[in-house]
Amino acid sequence: MTLRRFSQLLHRAGWEFWLPLPLIAVLFWVAGHSMAAQVLSRPYDSLSKLRADRQPGVKLSVTILAMNAEIDRRRSKTIIFVRTMNFSLKSLEYEFPVVQASQVETAIAQKLEMPVETVRKLISYRFVD
Would you kindly state where each structural domain of the chain is located, as residue ranges?
2-40, 64-128
Residue 57 pLDDT: 64
74: CB partners within 8 A, 6+ apart: 128, 129
Edge-to-edge strand list for the sheet holding 91-96: 91-96, 77-84, 64-72, 123-128
CATH class held by domain 64-128: alpha beta
Q: What is the pLDDT of residues 8-60, one digit of tens each?
A: 877 777 777 777 888 899 999 999 999 999 988 888 776 677 667 776 666 66
Q: 63 falls in which pLDDT band (50, 70, 90)? A: confident
pTM of the model: 0.52
Report in angstroms the alpha-carbon separations of 2 from 8, 12, 13, 23, 68: 10, 15, 16, 27, 103
Residue 13 pLDDT: 77
Q: What is the pLDDT of residues 64-117, one digit of tens each?
A: 888 999 999 899 999 999 998 887 778 889 999 998 989 999 999 998 888 999
Q: What is the distance between the alpha carbons of residues 30 and 5, in angstroms, rounded to a whole number?
A: 36
Residue 7 pLDDT: 79
| Contact predicate 69/43, CB 8 Å | no
Residue 5 pLDDT: 84
